[in-house]
């Protein structure tokens, strides 16, 4: 799995989401004071960066993630790559329809 290879500004992400530091940082298991230090320029460890990306950028609900789900995904990628690509495209297309908001055709 490729970790995130670009610089992000957690303060900008937090502000765009309209969250205070406590709400934002505790969702990924970081204290408010630790998050404040990252927002002030202290280097974030790669695992914290990845959690920030998954939870606040990709909108992943960590309480729903199971190891078996990743194992199934990896198996599907390896054994039926065409099906995996088609399913991935279908989810992306569905997400695009949903994001158009009220009044869009489903």
Q: Are 6 and 17 in contact (CB under 8 A)?
A: no
Contacts of 24 (CB under 8 A, 6+ apart): 10, 13, 14, 17, 35, 56
Task: Please report whether residue 79 resides in a domain.
Answer: yes
Per-residue model confidence (pLDDT) at position 99: 54
Where in the sequence is the domain holding 80, given as residue range(s)? 67-98
Task: Please report whether residue 42 resides in a domain.
Answer: yes
Number of domains in the chain: 2
Pair 71, 59 in one domain: no
- Cα separation, 51 vs 27, whole angstroms: 9
Per-residue model confidence (pLDDT) at position 1: 45
Three-state helix/strand/coil letters over the chain: CCCCCCCCCHHHHHHHHCCCHHHHHHCCCCCHHHHHHHHCCCCCCHHHHHHHHHHHHCCCCHHHCCHHHHHHHHHHHHHCHHHHHHHHHHHHHHHHHHCCCCCCCC
Q: Is 0.85 surpassed by the pTM of this model?
A: no
Per-residue model confidence (pLDDT) at position 11: 96
Task: Please report whether residue 81 resides in a domain.
Answer: yes
Task: Please report whether residue 23 resides in a domain.
Answer: yes
Question: How does pLDDT run along the chain (106 residues), one tens digit per residue?
Answer: 444 445 679 999 999 999 999 999 999 999 999 999 999 999 999 999 999 999 999 999 988 989 999 999 999 999 999 999 999 999 989 887 765 544 444 4
């Amino acid at each position: 799995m490729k970790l995130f290879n670009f610089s992000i500004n957690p303060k900008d992400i937090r502000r765009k989401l309209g969250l205070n530091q406590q709400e934002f940082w505790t969702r990924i298991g970081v204290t408010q004071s630790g998050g404040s230090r990252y927002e002030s320029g202290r280097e974030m460890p790669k695992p914290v960066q990845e959690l920030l990306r998954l939870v606040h950028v990709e909108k992943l609900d960590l309480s729903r993630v199971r190891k078996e789900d990743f194992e199934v995904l990896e198996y599907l990628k390896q054994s039926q790559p065409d099906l995996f690509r088609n399913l991935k495209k279908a989810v992306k297309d569905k997400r695009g329809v949903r994001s158009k908001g009220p009044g869009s055709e489903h």
